[in-house]
Structure 1
Amino acid sequence: MQFVKDDMAGKKTDSSKQRPPKPAINEADFQASIITRLREALPLLPSDIRAERYLHLKLGHHEVTVNGLSEQKKGLKGRSDVVVFRDDKPLLLAELKAPNVPITDEDVAQGLSYARLHQPMVPLVLVTNGDQESTRLVLTYDGSLLSHDRTDSDGLNKILSAASALAASSVDSAIRGLLGSEPAVWKEIINKWNLEEISRRKGALGDFRRAIAENFQIPREAVGVVNGMLNKGAKVVVLHGPPLSGVTCAMAQMVEALTFAGCIYIDSRNAGDILQFIAGRLSRELSIGISRDDVRQWLITGQSLSGLTLLIDSAPSSGLEELLQLAEANSLHLVFGMDSWSFESLRMLPGRAEETTLGRLAEEVVLTELSAGEFEIACKLLFNSSNAVFLPGAELVPDLRSPRHLRIVASQVPPNAPRQIRKTESGDEYITSNALPPIPGVKMLERASMLFGADAKLKHDLSRLASAFLTDVEENGSDKNRMVETYGVPSVDPDILERALGEQRIERLSKQGMIHWSDTRTLGPRLVLRFPELLAHHVSLHWTTALRSADDEMILVVLNRILQHSHIVPYGDLCAAAAIIRIDNDQRLALIFEALTEYLPEESWLREGAVIELLAKDKKGIRLHFGEGMNERIPGDMQPWLVLSHLSAFPADFGDDGASVNMKIFAKLGNHEDLIYRPSPSNFAEFPGLHSHEVPGIGSLLCPSSGIVEPIMQAMYSHASWRPKEFEQLVGYALDEELVFLAWRLKTVASIVKTSTDSQISDVAFRMDQILGEWWNRMINTSIPKEEALPDKS
C-alpha cells in the first residue's frame, strides 16, 4: 500500500482511495466562470478585464509562481486565487471561496500577502463567497475596506494611482505571513536552495574536491531504506558509512526521493547552527529580517512547514540538541549523513555507558560498499559515458565496491571512446570498448595520495604516521592477537604514535579525519588509520629509501624484511612493488627480480589436530579444528610472487636471449598449479568463492568464467595488448612444452583480449584463442576415459 502526505493535516492517507484528478478546464471556460463570479460580487467592474490563474510573487531574490487553482495550495479546498488584469495591469487579487464558507480575517491577510508580493503589486484584494453582504474589498497598501461602488472605471483609476504608496513594512509583513502559512511558497524556495546547494557540490568525475561526480551518480539502495523509515514515522535517521563512501551522494539523491513532503539539504560544515543558518539565508535572499525564533516558531506551529525534513550533511557543530527536541515533538524530521566514526562518537555520552539524545532517537542506516546491483549500474554508467568495461572478474574485486576506489578508476578513463563493431578474419563480430583492469595496480596508491593527501603539511604528517606504523609492525608484528585484531583495519599503538608524532600532529590528523580512536578486545585502545591506501603509499616511500640506501650485501636482507612486513601493511604486495619500481639502479633491480623469480612457495599440510583461525574484518576468533582423516595441502606463501606479478605489469627490457623479462616471469609464475592470489580483507559473510574444475590427470583449474582474479593474469593481459607477438610466442612455448597451467591461464587471457579496440591485437587474440581451445580439447579428451569424455567445446 502506498501513502501520500496531506499538507494540511500532516497525516498519511491511503492513496488508492483518493479521488481521480478532475479534467483540466479550458481557458475560455475558465475566463467565463471566474468573471461571472467576480461580477456577482462587484457588479460595477469594467467589461475589459481578464483573469489569470498563476500568481507571480517576488520574495527578495526569489521569484515564486503559485497556481491559484491548485487544490493543494495551503491545503484548503473550495478556494481559488486569481489575479484580475485590466489593460495588462494587475487590478485585483480575488480569493473566491465556496458558497456558505465563512470569510475570516485570516483570509483577508492571506490575500494581502499575495497582493503585496505579486510582481507587479496588485492594488486591490477581494475575498468573496458569493454573498455580497459578507464580501470584502480592501486596499492592498493599507488594508482598509472599500465600498463596492468604487469599482467603476473612475474609482479604479484613482486606486491604481495610489498603488505606489505601499510601504516596505507591508512587504515585510506579507513575506512573513506567506512563509508562516503557505506550503507552496516554502516548497518553491527550498527546491531552489536544494538545487543550488547540490550544484555547488557537483564536479567533474576527476575533480575530487567535489563530493558528487556529474554523470556518474549510482542510485544507492540505502536511500530507499531511509525513505521507507520516514514514511513509517521515523523522527531521526542517521545514514553513515566509511570515509568517502558516498554519503553526500546518497543525501543528494534523497532530495529527489522525499517527494511526499518538503526537505532542505544543508551542508552543516558551512552552516553552524542550523536554524540560524536557515534564518540568515532567508534574510539575505528575501531582503528582510528573519530571526532564528521566526524559523523555530514556524516549525513548532506546523502549518506551511508540516512534514518538513532536514537533510543535514555531517554532524552540526551547534544546536543539535534543539533540533532533536523539535524532531521528538514531531515538528520536523531529521536525516543526518556522516561517517561511522562521527556517529559512534555522538551516540554515547563521553566516558559513560549512556546514550545521548541522538543515540536514543536515531534509527541508523549503514551505507555499505556497493551491492551487486549497484555495481552493475555503475558498470552501465561507465559503458554509456565512456565506452569502458571492466575485464571479467571485476565482480570479485572488493576494492571496486568502494565508491572512492571506483571513482578513482573511472576518472582515468578517456571520455567518448568510439564504439565500433568489427569482424575478425574468420567473420566473427565483436564490439570494441575501453578495457579496465579490475585489480588495483601500483599506480593506484600514488593516485590516491595525489587526490586525498596532496597538502604539504598533511604529506609530512602521513610520512611520520607511516614511520610509526612500521615501528609498531617491527615491534609487535609477530603477535597473533595483533594480526587478528587489526586485519583489514590498520591501526597503531597510541604510545608509539605519540612518541613519533607528538600530541599536536595526532590532534591535527584526527581533525582532518585521517585517524580515530578505537578499542579492541585484546590490545586495548588503538588509533585506526582511516585511509589504508594513503598509509600504503607513504610506507612504500620509506621502503624505497631503505632499498636505495642498503649496500649490495644487505639488499636481499632488506628485501626479505619488506616482504615479511608486507603481510601486515595494507595493500602490502602493491606497496612492496611500488617501492621496488622506483629504484633506478639497473643492477640492483636485476638482483631483486632474480631473487623474487627464484623464490618457490613451500606447501604445507593440515592434518588431524591442526587449528587455523579465519581472518575477517568483522568477526574475530573464528577457528577451524581439523579432525581425524584430514590431510589437506595448503599452498605456500605467495607474497613474493604477488609482488613480482605487479612488477610484471610494467614493460621491461629484453634480455640477452631476445625475450623480455616479462616473458620469463609469465613462463615461471604462469605455470604454477596454485592461484597466485590473496583475497582482500572482507567481512565474514562476503568471503569470495571461486569456481574451479577438477580435470583427471591434470588437477584443479579455475573456471574461465571467473575472469581475471590473479595479478599475474592481469599483467599477461596488459602485455598481450602491448606486445601481441610476444603473447603469440608465449602461447607457442606453453603448447610445445605442454605447460598445462600456463596454457589454461593464456586461454582465459586470449578470450578477453579478443575485444581489444586494436584490430591487430584482437586478430592475434582470436587466433591464439582458437589454437588454445583446440589444444585443450585434445588434452582433456586424452586425460579422461572415453566414456567420460567432455563435449568437444573450447
Structure 2
Amino acid sequence: MRSFISMLPIVGNITHWPLGRKRLTMTITKLTEAPTEADLNARLDAAIKHALPWLGSESVRRETKFKVQIGRASVPIKNDSGSHEARADVLLYFGDTPLAVFELKRQDLNLSLNDEKQGLSYAKLLSPSPPLVVITNGADVRILETHTGSPWVPETPSEQALRDLLDNASKVAKGELKEAIHTLMHDSPAVWMAAVREISKSNIEALSGSWEDSLCPFVRGWILPRNATDVIEKQALAGQRVSLLVGAPLSGKSNVLREVCLRTMVSPTMGALYLCAGVGSGIFQTLADALNQALSWPVTPSEARNWLIQISNQNQQKLLVLLDDIDPGDSTSRRELEELLSDTFGQGLFVAIAVHESGSEQLCRSKNMLSQSLIGMKAKVITLTSLSDEEFKSAQDSLAKRHMLFTTGAQYSAEMREPWVIRAVSAHVQARASHLSKEAFASLPPMLSLRLIAEARTRFESPELIRYYQAIASALLADAQDRDRRAPLLLESLHTYVVRRLTLGDYLPSEEINRLVSLGFVRPAIQSDEPVLYVRLPELVASELSKKISKEIAKLLRNGIPEAAELLINAAQHLPLGDIVAAQSVMDCMADTGTFPYDLIVTLLDLKPTERPVQPGTKFGLDFPGVGYVMVDYLEGGKVKFKANGEIITADVSEVDFGAVIENAHPWTILSHLVNRLAATRTDGDGVIVMAPYLIKEIGDSELLLRRPGQTLDSRRAPMHDLQGGAVVCHHAGFLEQITYSTYEYLAYEGRGADALINEVIDLDSPFLLSRVHIALQEITTLSEDHLSQWAVETLETKVGPALAKHIDGVCE
C-alpha cells in the first residue's frame, strides 16, 4: 500500500532578488581531451614551427580547446574543422604564461582582416591576455600584437624577445575591450548565443524564489510544462516573425517564456533572450541595459538596435526575443516593436510577447482603432488558459518527482487547473516532502478550502501591506455592487480579482497606487475601455474581503438573519473564491463577536439548491477562455445562438438537450466549508445536535452536484451516474465537492468514533449520501495510519459498500 502523509500548505515571506552588477572577468579553463586528432596535431606542429621557427618546442604547450568568460557568459572556443572555414583556434603557452592565440586556417584559404579581428578579440578577452595573435594557413603568417593590432616585428626574433614582450605587455584598455566584445557579438554565433542565454539566465534568476515567494513569478528549480511552449518553438522554426502569448493574470505566461529559454539552452540553431519590457523605457533601452549588465558591454539603445539588425540577417541561427510584461500603452515600446517587424530586420529574428487579453487587443489595433496594426497583421495569437488534461497530467508527474501527489478528484477541480493555485497548495508540502522516503508521498488537497486564508494570514503580517490590501478589498466590494459595469469586465471579475483604477482611487491616493504597481502587487491594464488593475496574491485579497464582510454580517445579525444570509450569498456569487470568502466571514464574525450564529446557519441550510431546465428565451453571458465574452441565446425550436467578437453562430439541438441550471447552490457550498469549523452543539426539540455530522447528513443527501463550475471544458466535466431522483458522483472519481472532502476530514479525524454517523447513513439509505461517504472512506484507506486505513477498509466492505451497491449495481462497474 502506498504511503500518504497529509499536510497543510503554507506560504512564506517575500524575497526580492535584485540584479547585481559585476565587473568583467576573463578566465581560461582547460578543456583539452587527450588524445587529440593526429592530423590536427601534425598540422599544428608544422604551422607553429613555420611561424615561430626560433621557438624551442620544449618551451611551448598548447590547448586546442579553451573558453573565454565574457561577463557572466562562458563561451567555449572550439575548432571548426567541419565548417567551410576549417579554422583551428589554439591557445599557446610559453611555460605557464599565455603567449598567443594561434589561428590555423585551411591551406587553400587566404588570410583576411576578419581573421585578424577575431583572433585579436579572443586575445583581448582572455585574462591574462596573451600578447600575440598568430594567423597562418601553413604558408602565409601574420604575427600581431594584441594591444595594438600591429604586426610584431622584433629586432631579433628569439625567446628573449618573447620574454621582453611578456614583461612589457600592457593591460587592455576599456575601449579596446568594448571593441573586442563588439567583434565577437557580431561575427561569432557561438559567442552571441551564449551571451543571450546568460542574459536570460540572469534575468530569470532575478525573478526566481522559493515556493513560498509568491511575488517571484518563478520557482527556482521547478517549472510547470505547458503546451504553449511547443507552439512558440514551432512558430519560430516555421519562420513566423511575431507571436502573442495571451492569457489572464497568473495564468503562467512568464513561465512559458522561461520554459522556452530552458528548452533552447543547448540548441545549435536558436538562442532565447528573455527581457522584462514593462519598465516603460523601450525595448532597445531594455536590451542595452541587459547587454551592459550581463556582459559589461556598454552599448547605447541605437547600438543595441544595430546589433539586432545584424544578428537577424544571419542565415543559420535564430534569435528569439521574449518580451514579458510589455505595456501596450507605452508608445516607445509599441513603436520599437513594430520596427522589429519591419523589413529592416531579417528572418533570423522571432519575437514572442506575453500580454493580457485586453493588451493583445490594444496591440493588434491601430492608434485610430479603425484598422489592424502591423502587429495585428503579422502576429499569431497563442491563448493560454487553465491547464488542459494533458498539462495537468504533466503537473502531476512533475510534482510526483518531488514526492507530492494530488488527492483523487483534483483533476476535476476548476481551481487546481490554475498555476498559482498549484504553487500555493504545494508551497509548504514540498519542504517536508523533500525529506520523505522513496515510497512515501505527501498529499496535496483536491480543492481550495479555508486553509488558503489561514495560510495567508500566517504569511503576510506587514501592517503596510495589510493596509494596502484592505483598500483593495474595499474597492472590490464597491465594484461588485456596481451592476452598470460592462459585461466583459463584470464576468471576468467573477473569477479574477480585477478592480477599476478609478474605484481604487477612492480608497488610496494616486502615488500609493503607483507604488503598488511598482512593487508588483497590481498590474495595470485596459478592460472594457477602462483602466483596471489586476491584483496579485489572491489569497490575501480573499482574507481581507472576508474581514470586511464579517463586520457587515455582525451588524446585520443584530437586526435580521435573512439580510445577513443574503449578504453571504451575494459575496459567494459575485467574488472570486466567493464560497471560501463567505465561509471565512462567518468564522471571523464568530471570533469577533464571541457568539455562534446558529440561526444564520439554519437559514442557509433551509435554502436548498434546486434545478430547473433551460427554457427557450433564456440568455447567458459567459467569459470563455481564449474567446472572451460570449452571449448564449436559447431559441424556440431547439436552436442555440452564440455571439462572440462580432460573429454569430447558430446550432441546432433539441430543447431536451438544452440542459438544466442549478440554482441557489451557494448557501450549501458555503456551509460545506464550515462543516468541521462549527464545533458547537445545539439543544432543540429533537435533542442535542452536533453540527458536523448534522451538516454532513443534510448537505450530503443532495441529489445535485454542489460545486462551482470551472472556466474550461476539462474542469467542467464531472463523472456522474443518473439515478432515480437525481445523480451521484461516481465513487471512483474522488473529491469533486467540498461537502465530500469535509466528510473525509471528519471521518479521518474521528475514525472509529464516527461509527454512529456511519450507522445513521446506512439507515437513511440515501444513494447520494452513501456515494459521498464511500468516496471519503476510499481515501482514508490510502493513509499511512494503519488504525485509520484498517477501519476504513472494514467499514467499506461490511457497511457502506454493500449499501451503495444496491443503488448502483448495473450503473457503475
TM bin (shorter chain): 0.7 to 0.9
Structure-2 change in CA distance of 1:461 and 1:63 (3 Å):
closer
Aligned residue identity for 1:230 = A
Distance across 2 between alignment mates of 1:603 and 1:284: 62
Structure-2 change in CA distance of 1:152 and 1:202 (3 Å):
same
Residue aligning to 1:722: 749
Structure-2 change in CA distance of 1:615 and 1:406 (3 Å):
farther
**Aligned partner (choices 748, 752, 762) of residue 775 of structure 2:** 748
Structure-2 change in CA distance of 1:611 and 1:750 (3 Å):
farther
1:472–1:493 Cα contact (<8 Å) kept: no
Structure-2 change in CA distance of 1:691 and 1:776 (3 Å):
same
Aligned residue identity for 1:330 = F
**Aligned partner (choices 345, 351, 354) of residue 330 of structure 1:** 345
Structure-2 change in CA distance of 1:692 and 1:733 (3 Å):
same
Residue aligning to 1:308: 319
Partner deviation per Cα, 1:650-703 (whole Å, 9 max, x = no partner): 2513556676310111122222333333424x25x55723333345x6764331
2:410–2:416 Cα contact (<8 Å) kept: yes
3-state SS of 1:416 partner: helix
Instruction: Within 5 Å, give how 1:564-603 maps onto structure 2.
Output: 564=570, 566-584=572-590, 585=593, 587-601=595-609
Residue aligning to 2:376: 359
3-state SS of 1:301 partner: helix
Aligned residue identity for 1:660 = V
Shift of 1:142: 2.9
Residue aligning to 1:272: 281
1:383–1:389 Cα contact (<8 Å) kept: yes
Partner deviation per Cα, 1:372-406 (whole Å, 9 max, x = no partner): 12211222333332x33222221111111111122
Distance across 1 between alignment mates of 2:502 and 2:102: 75
1:487–1:615 Cα contact (<8 Å) kept: no
Distance across 1 between alignment mates of 2:512 and 2:182: 49
Shift of 1:277: 4.0
**Aligned partner (choices 384, 400, 406) of residue 422 of structure 2:** 406
Structure-2 change in CA distance of 1:748 and 1:166 (3 Å):
closer
Instruction: Within 5 Å, give how 1:120-131 maps onto structure 2.
Output: 120-131=128-139
Shift of 1:211: 0.8
Residue aligning to 1:245: 251
TM-score (norm 2): 0.80
Shift of 1:205: 0.5
Residue aligning to 1:368: 385
1:307–1:333 Cα contact (<8 Å) kept: yes
2:153 corresponds to 1:139: no
Between 396-405 and 462-471, report the one with greater CA deviation.
462-471
Partner deviation per Cα, 1:188-236 (whole Å, 9 max, x = no partner): 3333322222222111111112110124311111111111111111222
1:433–1:757 Cα contact (<8 Å) kept: no
2:339 corresponds to 1:340: no
Aligned residue identity for 1:315 = I
Between 26-35 and 90-99, report the one with greater CA deviation.
26-35
2:292–2:299 Cα contact (<8 Å) kept: yes
2:527 corresponds to 1:518: yes
Aligned residue identity for 1:437 = P
1:603–1:634 Cα contact (<8 Å) kept: yes
Shift of 1:353: 1.8
**Aligned partner (choices 187, 194, 201) of residue 195 of structure 1:** 201
Instruction: Within 5 Å, give how 1:665-704 maps onto structure 2.
Output: 665-680=695-710, 682-683=711-712, 685-686=713-714, 688-694=716-722, 700-704=727-731
3-state SS of 2:321 partner: strand
Residue aligning to 1:464: 474
Between 358-367 and 508-517, report the one with greater CA deviation.
508-517
Residue aligning to 1:761: 788
Shift of 1:642: 1.6
Shift of 1:734: 1.5
Distance across 1 between alignment mates of 2:599 and 2:382: 52
Distance across 1 between alignment mates of 2:116 and 2:513: 63
Structure-2 change in CA distance of 1:647 and 1:96 (3 Å):
same
2:329 corresponds to 1:321: no
3-state SS of 1:308 partner: strand
Distance across 1 between alignment mates of 2:746 and 2:465: 35
3-state SS of 1:439 partner: coil
Distance across 1 between alignment mates of 2:532 and 2:147: 66
2:323–2:353 Cα contact (<8 Å) kept: yes
Residue aligning to 2:646: none
Residue aligning to 1:296: 305
Residue aligning to 2:642: none
Distance across 2 between alignment mates of 1:253 and 1:651: 45
Shift of 1:604: 5.2
**Aligned partner (choices 665, 688, 692) of residue 662 of structure 1:** 692
3-state SS of 2:270 partner: coil
Distance across 1 between alignment mates of 2:697 and 2:427: 34
**Aligned partner (choices 161, 166, 170) of residue 160 of structure 1:** 166
Distance across 2 between alignment mates of 1:179 and 1:232: 25
Higher relative contact order (CA 8 A, sep 6+): 2
Residue aligning to 1:101: 109
1:614–1:621 Cα contact (<8 Å) kept: yes
**Aligned partner (choices 62, 72, 88) of residue 51 of structure 1:** 62
Structure-2 change in CA distance of 1:33 and 1:271 (3 Å):
farther
Aligned residue identity for 1:307 = K
1:179–1:304 Cα contact (<8 Å) kept: no
Aligned residue identity for 1:324 = E
Aligned residue identity for 1:312 = L
1:433–1:756 Cα contact (<8 Å) kept: no
Structure-2 change in CA distance of 1:124 and 1:459 (3 Å):
closer
Instruction: Within 5 Å, give how 1:248-267 maps onto structure 2.
Output: 248-258=254-264, 259=267, 260-267=269-276
Instruction: Within 5 Å, give how 1:396-435 maps onto structure 2.
Output: 396-413=412-429, 415-417=431-433, 433-435=441-443
Distance across 2 between alignment mates of 1:268 and 1:482: 26
3-state SS of 1:262 partner: strand
Instruction: Within 5 Å, give how 1:433-448 maps onto structure 2.
Output: 433-445=441-453
Distance across 2 between alignment mates of 1:54 and 1:271: 43
3-state SS of 1:413 partner: helix
Distance across 2 between alignment mates of 1:494 and 1:591: 39
Partner deviation per Cα, 1:31-84 (whole Å, 9 max, x = no partner): 44411232244433322122221345465x457453241358xx7622112122
Q: Which runs of 5+ in 2 are unaligned?
A: 1-32, 625-629, 639-653
Shift of 1:291: 3.4
Matched residues, number: 737
